[in-house]
């Protein structure tokens, strides 16, 4: 009954708003020849994760002057295959892109079916071993962005220590993660190392929600971390839960996937995100010219794929903007490596060798040496993250594998 | 004392009167008219939001459902459409005997998930060890049993302890979801994804993935129609649904009927889970059924517990769901648009039932004077 009522109210509102519509852009009209890109999204623009892709898709296609079609709310099932088939057969798309990890196997099935169509997939890990000419993975070295965001967090902690609000030992950050996967572990570890590079006494507590998007759980996790003595919060999940909890409790927040400045003017410091526009442009250009798309593409700061929002000077420590520019330059010229083994220990020891599970196989066996010359090279052997170590200084309050 | 002439009989502006006299052809006319009117209205809503013409809106909707079929293109979208109908209809058919018995089975989601779990378990464990036909039989039996078990647990508690079946079946959904989540974690090696398994897949017929699913459900429509209308058990279900006391009085074992019917309901939900795993995804995740177990409740009601009407209503609702999604995607509208439209049409249809069964009598001026 409640559901029906809600639907009825929504329908009524629709009538009310109907008058305001009428001026939407029509993407079906092709500006040039019949080249067309098809996008498959897991959710819609209400999820910050998908919105990030959708904005980039629009920006890239508009800039390149190509038509595109999109399908939203496509689950990680055969529906992804069906959506790809529809985009090819009905909409006539020449390139198909899907944005969620679980889409991969189903997209690969479509790739086998349509060898003349190019298939690109974000966050996946099977392309480099699948041996399909028309199936490609892509990701970005977002750990560099998180490292920079971590530097901003460390500077804020230093400011608090100098002001006497906290002692150096009380410099504890909190991190709300979605799942205990390499993608999240790599993210929070790089964030922590960024903070540690400027504030050596920092420690961090991590809580997991078991969901990429759950506003209530993320808010509760952030509140629990704050109650547990964390003086700064960051997150790797897609809702406004953690930023809102921070604004309510006046705790500084380092955000993800876009600025939360409008909702959190007093606590938002800076946010890192992946900008997919460069990849989309690259993908479209290759497909149009008939050139090969890289099997496993990693976007970086240099390609413009890893970006930071503007620093909110009202909340950030003084000199943050200058320091970030300095560290960014060091990351670019290679004088700073995020996972330099000199900067972190596991069980009190510095690692000299680590085998990670890079290649996709049934046994999930560790197969590739990833530490060379004292640096754990993330995203080198494949674009999707594989750093999954629990390093000293970070405490996991819980784990969640979904 | 003076005569009590000043007392006013305050009659409300209108009142509702039950009516049983509407002939069925007239009732059907009302229903079709309602649906036709709703289609016109949603056409206009879409127009005002997208700026497309009425014709273009419907052309988009039809191309969303049938693809290029009517332009001489492939039939691929038609099969997808039939597949979507098949799964939702299978769940609605599964719920129908329970609903007819006034047992509110809100657990189709969980029962289908358990059926799906049984299927993927067999595919992973016995794939390659058994021959394909044997494997598919094993999958079918285990899915049916798993769904039936998940359905019969609340029924046993209802029959023996009179527990509330709505809450019980709902909670069984959450348990099923968590079991799947755990299984996916174990099988997926922590990656949250099970790659499609190539064993125990329903065979393709021609180049068509979904043919078997569609045939299975088409068979179920007939079976359920016969079962409810012509079998003794179907009759018992009706009697228990009308009045448990009457049922007891004429010597029906009510507990037995409740348990037996829920075994059937759960088993058919298990079949739906099997169709989704062995006939479609070849993999599983917690989103396998995707809320269709709840939509099926509406379908069963809209179909007035008749498998034939249910088929028509399901075809209609799935058409709208896919078609309006296409309109939303093509116009960069939010995907909730399709849910709103489907909700609106369901509301119109439910609303028209009210006018079929009741009439509204307005206060007439004559009566007020008198």
Q: Where are the domains of chain A?
A: 27-141+276-299, 142-273+306-343+380-396
CB A97 within 8 Å of CB A37: yes
* Residues in contact with B53: Cβ distance below 8 Å, sequence separation at least 6, in sequence order: B47
Residue B34 to residues A5, A13, A141, B59, Cα–Cα distance (Å)? 19, 21, 55, 21
Which segments of A250-300 are extended strands (E)? 253-256, 268-274, 296-299
CB A153 within 8 Å of CB A191: yes
Per-residue pLDDT of chain B (370 residues; tens, 9 = 90+): 455 555 566 778 888 888 888 888 999 999 999 999 999 999 999 988 888 899 999 999 999 999 888 888 888 899 999 999 999 999 999 999 999 999 999 999 999 999 999 999 999 999 999 999 999 999 999 999 999 999 999 999 999 999 999 999 999 999 999 999 999 988 887 677 899 999 999 999 988 899 999 999 999 999 999 999 999 999 999 999 999 999 999 999 999 999 999 999 999 999 999 999 999 999 999 999 999 999 999 999 999 999 999 999 999 999 999 999 999 988 888 888 999 999 999 999 989 988 888 988 887 765 544 4
Query: Which residue in B125, B184, B329 has the most chain A C-beta atoms within 10 A of its own C-beta, making it the best mutation to test that interface?
Result: B329
Burial class (CB in 10 A: 0-12, 13-18, 19+), A353: exposed
Evaluate whether ipTM surpasses 0.95.
no
Query: 0.80 cut: is pTM over it?
Result: yes
Residue A7's pLDDT is what?
Answer: 52
Residue B369's pLDDT is what?
Answer: 47
Using CA atoms of A99, A105, A107, A113 in order, give the dihedral in degrees to the nearest 10. 170
Nearest one of A210, A237, A207 to A224, comparing CA atoms: A207
SS3 at position B194: coil
Domains A27-141+276-299 and A142-273+306-343+380-396 share a fold: yes
Residues on chain B touching A72 (C-beta within 8 angstroms)? 325, 328-329, 335
Chain A: closest CA distance from residue B334 (Å): 7
Distance CA A46, CA A33 (A): 32
CB A230 within 8 Å of CB A249: no
pLDDT digits (tens, 9 = 90+) for A338-390: 999 999 999 999 999 999 988 887 667 788 999 999 999 999 999 999 999 99
Residue B362's pLDDT is what?
Answer: 85
Distance CA A36, CA A200 (A): 51
Instruction: Identify the closest residue of chain B to A29 by CA–CA distance.
Output: B330
Nearest one of A332, A322, A396 to A141, comparing CA atoms: A332
pLDDT digits (tens, 9 = 90+) for A18-43: 433 333 334 444 444 689 999 999 98
Question: Do the bridges between strand A394-396 and strand A203-208 make them parallel or antiparallel, or are there none, so unpaired?
Answer: parallel
CB A62 within 8 Å of CB A29: no
Does A113 contact chain B (CB < 8 Å)?
Answer: no
Q: Greatest CA span in chain B, whole angstroms?
A: 99
CATH superfamily name and code, A27-141+276-299: Response regulator (3.40.50.2300)
What sign does the CA torsion over B248, B251, B256, B259 have? negative
Q: Which residues of chain A have pLDDT under 70?
A: 1-33, 362-363, 402
CB B15 within 8 Å of CB B361: yes
* Residues in contact with B349: Cβ distance below 8 Å, sequence separation at least 6, in sequence order: B31, B34, B35, B38, B302, B313
Residues on chain B touching A10 (C-beta within 8 angstroms)? 336, 340, 343
Nearest one of A327, A334, A389, A312 to A195, comparing CA atoms: A327
Does A7 contact chain B (CB < 8 Å)?
Answer: yes
* Residues in contact with A132: Cβ distance below 8 Å, sequence separation at least 6, in sequence order: A108, A111, A112
Instruction: Identify the closest residue of chain A to B333 by CA–CA distance.
Output: A24
CATH number for the domain whose boundaries are A142-273+306-343+380-396: 3.40.50.2300
Planar angle of CA B123, B124, B128, nearest 5 degrees: 75
Burial class (CB in 10 A: 0-12, 13-18, 19+), A325: exposed
Chain A: closest CA distance from residue B229 (Å): 29
Cβ contact B190–A26 (<8 Å) = no
Residue A25's pLDDT is what?
Answer: 39
CB B45 within 8 Å of CB A18: yes
Distance CA A284, CA A286 (A): 6
Cβ contact B51–A24 (<8 Å) = yes
Query: Which residue in B40, B87, B330 has the most chain A C-beta atoms within 10 A of its own C-beta, making it the best mutation to test that interface?
Result: B330
Number of H helices, E strands in chain A: 11, 17
Structure tokens at B207: 């180049």
Cβ under 8 Å to B: A residues 279-338: none
């Amino acid at each position: 009954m409640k559901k029906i009522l809600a639907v009825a109210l929504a329908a009524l509102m629709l009538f009310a708003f109907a008058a305001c519509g009428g001026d939407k852009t029509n993407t079906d009209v092709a500006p040039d020849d019949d080249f067309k890109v098809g996008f498959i999204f897991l959710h819609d623009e209400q999820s910050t994760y998908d919105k990030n892709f959708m904005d980039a898709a629009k920006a890239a296609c508009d800039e390149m002057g190509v038509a595109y079609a999109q399908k939203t709310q496509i689950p990680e099932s055969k529906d992804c295959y069906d959506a790809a088939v529809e985009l090819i057969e009905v909409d006539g798309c020449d390139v198909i892109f899907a944005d969620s990890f679980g889409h991969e196997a189903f997209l690969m099935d479509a790739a086998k079916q349509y060898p003349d169509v190019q298939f690109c997939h974000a966050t996946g890990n099977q392309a480099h071993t699948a041996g399909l000419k028309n199936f490609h993975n892509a990701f970005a070295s977002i750990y560099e962005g998180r490292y920079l965001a971590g530097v901003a967090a460390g500077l804020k902690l230093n400011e608090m220590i100098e002001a006497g609000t906290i002692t150096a030992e009380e410099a504890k950050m909190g991190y709300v993660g979605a799942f205990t996967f390499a993608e999240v572990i790599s993210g929070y570890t790089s964030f922590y190392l960024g903070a540690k590079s400027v504030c050596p006494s920092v420690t961090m507590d991590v809580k997991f929600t078991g969901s990429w998007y759950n506003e209530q759980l993320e808010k509760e996790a952030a509140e629990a971390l704050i109650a547990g003595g964390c003086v700064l919060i960051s997150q790797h999940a897609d809702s406004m839960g953690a930023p809102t909890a921070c604004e309510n409790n006046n705790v500084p927040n380092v955000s993800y996937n876009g600025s939360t400045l409008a909702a959190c003017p007093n606590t938002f410091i800076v946010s890192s995100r992946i900008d997919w526009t460069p990849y989309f442009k690259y993908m479209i250009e290759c497909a149009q010219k008939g050139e090969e798309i890289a099997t496993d593409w990693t976007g970086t700061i240099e390609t413009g794929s890893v970006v930071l929002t503007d620093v909110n000077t009202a909340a950030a420590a003084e000199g943050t903007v200058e320091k970030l520019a300095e560290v960014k330059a060091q990351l670019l010229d290679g004088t700073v490596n995020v996972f330099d083994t000199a900067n972190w220990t596991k069980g009190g020891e510095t690692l000299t060798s680590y085998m990670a599970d890079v290649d996709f196989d049934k046994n999930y066996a560790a197969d590739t040496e990833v530490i060379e010359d004292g640096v754990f090279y993330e995203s080198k052997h494949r674009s999707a993250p594989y750093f999954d170590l629990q390093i000293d200084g970070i405490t996991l309050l819980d784990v969640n594998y979904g | 004392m003076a005569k009590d002439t000043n007392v006013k009989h305050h009659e409300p502006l209108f009142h509702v009167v039950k009516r049983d006299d509407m002939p069925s052809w007239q009732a059907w006319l009302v229903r079709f008219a309602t649906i036709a009117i709703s289609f016109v209205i949603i056409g206009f809503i879409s127009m005002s939001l997208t700026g497309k013409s009425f014709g273009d809106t419907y052309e988009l909707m039809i191309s969303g459902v049938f693809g290029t079929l009517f332009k001489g293109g492939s039939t691929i979208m038609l099969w997808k459409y039939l597949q979507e109908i098949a799964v939702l209809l299978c769940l609605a058919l599964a719920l129908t005997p329970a609903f007819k018995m006034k047992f509110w089975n809100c657990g189709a989601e969980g029962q289908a998930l358990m059926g799906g779990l049984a299927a993927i378990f067999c595919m992973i464990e016995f794939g390659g060890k058994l021959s394909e036909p044997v494997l598919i039989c094993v999958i079918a039996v285990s899915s049916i049993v798993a769904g039936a078990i998940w359905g019969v647990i609340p029924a046993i508690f209802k029959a023996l302890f009179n527990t509330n079946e709505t809450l019980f079946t709902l909670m069984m959904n959450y348990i099923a979801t968590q079991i799947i989540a755990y299984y996916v974690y174990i099988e997926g090696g922590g990656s949250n994804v099970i790659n499609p398994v190539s064993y125990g897949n329903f065979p393709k017929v021609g180049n068509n993935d979904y043919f078997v699913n569609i045939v299975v459900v088409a068979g179920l429509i007939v079976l359920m129609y016969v079962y409810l209308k012509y079998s003794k058990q179907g009759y018992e279900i009706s009697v228990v649904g009308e009045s448990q006391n009457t049922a007891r009085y004429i010597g029906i074992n009510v507990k037995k009927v409740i348990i037996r019917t829920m075994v059937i309901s759960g088993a058919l939900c298990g079949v739906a889970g099997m169709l989704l795993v062995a006939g479609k995804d070849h993999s599983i995740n917690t989103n396998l059924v995707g809320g269709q177990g709840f939509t099926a409740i509406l379908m069963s009601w809209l179909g007035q517990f008749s498998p034939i009407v249910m088929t028509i209503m399901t075809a209609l609702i799935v058409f709208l769901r896919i078609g309006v999604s296409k309109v939303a995607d093509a116009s960069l509208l939010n995907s909730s648009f399709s849910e709103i439209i489907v909700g609106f049409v369901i509301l119109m249809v439910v609303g028209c039932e009210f006018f079929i069964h009741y009439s509204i009598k307005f206060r007439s001026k004559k009566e007020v004077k008198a």
